């Protein structure tokens, strides 16, 4: 079968790697893909947002199955365009992707269906928001309603800071229209864990757990990023917690979306906080996490095409997910200065070191071929180095060893990915 993968980041590279392993797949196209994906798929220069061109391409190549990876195209209805044109597609429709695209929608949904999450209020008026801040205690959690590349959340320690935050979001439009509406939320404490779940709109199958490191600097300092590294599984996500979450969070969310006439088919990413009062939802995403996909997908034993098809066909109840009894760690190599400003276009050296090395992966996030055909850096996050190990300690040592195999000017990484496992 012929598969088209929409997107061009590390998540899509991991997805492409898994799709390429499927014996049922003969040909993979990626739009737009990247220099790493190009080893496994034919990359076509079409933006992930251009549904008209994407659908025309899929028709021309008689594509059998489409996978839409990133959040922006899903929120914009790219999966709808393929589905409406008759293509089997993995990824939620726009009316379900709203669970990620609007924080106000997801908070209202959780409240209506009693899904555990932080208490909150929603505001469209800056004065009202400022007045409300005066009635609550620090720390203040402010969230821009719309998609803001993972950067639309501010945690403020003082009232002044919080008021400044409201001004930036609602008056100065720092996050564009994403900040027209703002959610102010109760501050939660605890460990964070990400659980990505497959769903066909009725059945939900959670994958193995993972933990992200969102801040740019060691010791969780600096700005929020898209994610600087991940590990899987989380040793803090126990069987009891999993059972609680299945019963109180995962299945109720899928049932709630169905009840609202917004059946969710794709990956529902549940960002959880393990608070002293039990697990609560921090956020939902409507897709694989990036770089969570880079540690979860390499541990999946199933043929990923079987799972994708079952989600599209509504037969996920017939699939049991299986994961290797091992661990994975991903360390993101970024361009120094990310997420604010950075240079790109530097040649990447040493990629051949990953050839034929079992258990080591170099998933490209931002790379491209330059005019001379050399692979150069092309983004803030450049390449996610993932390694497997029998346990988290071995996986972490392997991943850090492998970060030395690749080099480029302005290479930057965190040195404490997976540090939490020392505390288990
Ligand atoms: P989000 O984009 O909603 O996942 O938020 C980004 C990060 O902000 C999360 O990964 C948490 O570390 C933090 N965060 C979000 N909401 C809360 C909250 N209510 N209490 C404490 N921390 C939060
Ligand atoms: N790594 C966080 C995310 O994909 O949203």
- With a 6 Å cutoff on the Cβ, whether 178 touches ligand 1 is no
For residue 110 and ligand 1, the question of a CB distance below 6 A is answered with no
Direct distance between the N- and C-terminal alpha carbons of the chain, in angstroms, rounded to an integer: 44
Residue whose Cα lies nearest atom 7 of ligand 1: it is: 153
| Ligand 2 neighbour 212 (Cβ under 6 A) | yes
The predicted model gives 399-421 an average pLDDT of: 96
Say if ligand 1 is within 6 A of residue 195 CB.
no
For tokens 């996920």, what's the residue?
316
Among the atoms of ligand 1, which is closest to the Cα of residue 283?
3
With a 6 A CB cut-off, is 100 part of the ligand 1 pocket?
no
Q: CB within 8 A of 147, min separation 6: which ones?
A: 71, 72, 75, 100, 101, 178
Report the nearest-CA residue for atom 5 of ligand 1: 153
With a cut of 90, say whether residue 131 has pLDDT above it: yes
- 396 CB under 6 A from ligand 1? no
CA 122 distance to own-chain centroid: 25
Q: Is the pLDDT of residue 258 over 90?
A: yes
pLDDT of residue 177: 83
| Range of weakest confidence among 124-138, 205-219, 368-382 | 124-138
Q: Compute the distance from residue 297 Cα to the ligand 2 centre, in Å.
A: 14
Q: In this structure, which residue's CA is closest to atom 8 in ligand 1?
A: 153
Residue closest to 120 by CA, chosen among 284, 111, 273: 111
Query: Do residues 212 and 227 lie in contact, with contact meaning Cβ atoms separated by under 8 Å?
Result: yes
Name the average pLDDT for the chain. Answer: 96
Tell me: the pLDDT tens digits for 7-20? 999 999 999 999 99
153: CA distance to ligand 1 center in Å? 7
Over residues 84-106, the pLDDT tens digits come to 999 999 999 999 999 999 999 99
Query: Residue 209: its pLDDT value, please?
Result: 98
Q: Best of 228, 269, 281 to mutate for ligand 2, by most ligand atoms within 8 A of CB?
A: 269
Contact 90/253 with Cβ under 8 angstroms?
A: no
**For range 208-222, the mean pLDDT:** 95
Q: What are the φ/ψ torsions at residue 151 (nearest 5 degrees)?
A: -115, 5
Average pLDDT value for residue range 292-296: 98
Higher pLDDT, 223 or 109: 109
Task: Report, as an integer, the average pLDDT of 34-38.
Answer: 97
- Identify the nearest ligand to the CA of 273 by its number: 1
- 138 alpha carbon, closest ligand: 1
Mean pLDDT over 37-50 rounds to 98
Q: Which of 355, 363, 360 has its CA nearest to residue 381? A: 363
Task: Say if residue 310's pLDDT is above 90.
Answer: yes
Ligand 1: which of 119, 120, 155 to mutate, most ligand atoms within 8 Å of CB? 155
Q: How far is the CA of 135 from the centre of ligand 2 (A)?
A: 32
Residue by residue, what is the 3-state secondary structure of the chain?
Answer: CEEEEEECCHHHHHHHHHHHHCCCCCEEEEEECCCCHHHCCEECCCCCCCHHHHHHHHHHCCCCEEEECCHHHHHHCHHHHHHHCCCCEECCCHHHHHHHHCHHHHHHHHHHCCCCECCEEEECCHHHHHHHHCCCCCCEEEEECCCCCCCCEEEECCHHHHHHHHHHHHHCCCCHHHHCCEEEECCCCCEEEEEEEEEECCCEEEEEEEEECCEEECCCEEEECCCCEEEECCCCCCHHHHHHHHHHHHHHHHHHHHHCCCCCEEEEEEEEEEECCEEEEEEEECCCCCCCHHHHHHHECCCHHHHHHHHHHCCHHHCCCCECCCEEEEEEEEECCCCCCCCCCCECECHHHHCCCCCEEEEECCEEECCCCCEEECCCEEEEEEEEECCHHHHHHHHHHHHCCCECCCEECCCCCCHHHHHC
pTM for this predicted structure? 0.95
């Amino acid at each position: 079968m012929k598969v088209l993968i929409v997107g061009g980041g590390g998540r899509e590279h991991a997805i492409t790697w898994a799709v390429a392993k499927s014996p049922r797949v003969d040909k993979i196209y990626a739009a737009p893909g990247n220099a790493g994906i190009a080893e496994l798929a034919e990359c076509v220069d079409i933006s992930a947002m251009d549904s008209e061109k994407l659908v025309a391409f899929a028709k021309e190549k008689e594509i059998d199955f489409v996978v839409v990876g990133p959040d922006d195209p899903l929120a914009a209805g790219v999966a709808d365009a393929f589905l409406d044109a008759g293509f089997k597609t993995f990824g939620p429709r726009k009316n379900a992707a709203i669970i990620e695209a609007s924080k106000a929608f997801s908070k209202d949904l959780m409240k209506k269906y009693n899904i555990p999450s932080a208490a909150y209020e929603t505001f469209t008026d800056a004065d009202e928001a400022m007045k409300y801040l005066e009635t609550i205690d620090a720390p203040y959690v402010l969230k821009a309603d719309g998609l803001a590349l993972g950067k639309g959340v501010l945690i403020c320690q003082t009232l002044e800071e919080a008021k400044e935050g409201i001004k930036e979001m609602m008056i100065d439009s720092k996050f564009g229209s994403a900040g027209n509406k703002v959610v102010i939320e109760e501050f939660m404490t605890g460990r964070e864990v990400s659980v990505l779940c497959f769903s066909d709109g009725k059945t939900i199958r959670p994958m193995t757990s993972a933990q992200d490191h969102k801040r740019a600097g060691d010791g969780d300092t600096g700005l929020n990023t898209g994610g600087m590294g991940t590990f899987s599984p989380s040793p803090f996500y126990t069987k009891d917690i999993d059972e609680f979450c299945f019963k109180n969070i995962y299945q109720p969310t899928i049932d709630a979306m169905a009840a609202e006439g917004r059946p969710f088919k794709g990956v529902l990413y549940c960002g959880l906080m393990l608070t002293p009062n039990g697990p609560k939802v921090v956020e939902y995403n409507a897709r694989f996490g990036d770089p969570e996909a880079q540690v979860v997908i390499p541990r999946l034993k199933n043929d990923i095409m079987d799972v994708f098809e079952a989600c599209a066909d509504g037969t996920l109840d017939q699939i049991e997910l299986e994961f290797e009894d091992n661990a994975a760690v991903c360390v993101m190599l970024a361009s120094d200065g990310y997420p604010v400003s950075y240079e790109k276009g530097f040649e990447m050296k040493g990629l051949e070191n990953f050839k034929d090395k079992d258990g080591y992966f170099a998933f490209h996030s931002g790379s491209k071929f330059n005019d001379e055909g050399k692979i150069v850096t092309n983004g803030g996050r450049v390449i996610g180095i993932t390694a497997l190990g029998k346990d988290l300690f071995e996986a972490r040592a392997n991943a850090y060893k492998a970060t030395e195999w690749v080099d480029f000017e302005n290479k930057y990484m965190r040195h404490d990915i997976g540090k939490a496992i020392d505390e288990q």
